[in-house]
Amino acid sequence: MSKLLKLKKWLTISDAVRYLEIVLGEEISEADVLRFALDGHLTLSVDLVNHAKVKYGKIHSWEETEWELFRPRPCLPACRYIF
C-alpha cells in the first residue's frame, strides 16, 4: 500500500481505512475515519468529477443559522404516479 500511496493524489474513504489500519496496527472503520475528520484530526476534500463550480462560503454554527419556513408546493395530479 505504501508504494501505491506515493502515486495517488488522493484516497477514498475505504483506502484511508486500509492505510490507517496498517499505520496504526488496529482495525478501523469508515465511521472512524469520518469521526476523525469531524474531530479535526483529518481534512476531507471533495473531488467534483463533473467539474461543477462551487461558491465558497462561511461556516455558521447551528445557533447562528437563520431559518425560513416555506409552504410545500401543491402536488400536481401526475405526482401520485412518481412515487
Specify the pLDDT at position 83.
46
Confidence at 25, pLDDT banded by 50, 70, 90: very high
3-class DSSP state for residue 82?
helix
Burial of 72 from C-beta contacts in 10 A (0-12 / 13-18 / 19+) = exposed
For the chain, percent of residues with pLDDT exceeding 70: 83
pLDDT digits (tens, 9 = 90+) for 29-65: 999 999 999 998 988 887 777 877 877 787 778 888 8
Q: How far apart are CA 10 and CA 48, in angstroms?
A: 13
Specify the pLDDT at position 60.
78
